Amino acid sequence: MNTIKTTLITFWTWLTGLFKTRYKLTVSYNATYGDSDDQHFIVKKFYSKKEKFLSFKTESDEVVEIRGAEGLNYKIEEV
C-alpha cells in the first residue's frame, strides 16, 4: 500500500511539473554580465520585480529578496 502511494505521488509531481514554467535569473550588480559578482537562480515564482528590488521563490522553495541601492541589472530567461 505504501509503495502505491509513493508511486502515485511521484507521478503526480512529475505530471504537474510539465505545466509549470521555470525561469533562469541572472543578477549582476554592475553593468557587465559574466564577471565574478553575478548570481544565478532557477525561479519558480516572482513576487516582486522592481528597479531596485527583486523578490522570488527558488526551485528549492526558498524565498529570496535582493536589493540594490543603485538599481539591479538582471536577465530573466524561460527554461
Domain boundaries of the chain, sorted by first residue: 20-78
Q: What is the pLDDT of residue 47?
A: 96
- Left (φ > 0), alpha (ψ -120 to 50) or beta: where does 50 sit? beta
Tell me what pLDDT residue 63 has. 97
Residue 45: pLDDT over 90: yes
For residue 22, the model assigns a pLDDT of 92
Return the pLDDT at 73. 86
pTM of the model: 0.72
Q: What is the mean pLDDT of residues 47-54?
A: 92
DSSP secondary structure string for all residues of 26-78 = EEESSS-TTSTT-EEEEEEEEEEE-SSEEEEEETTS-EEEEE-TT--EEEEEE
Instruction: Express each pLDDT in 16-35 by its tens digit.
Output: 888 889 999 998 877 777 77
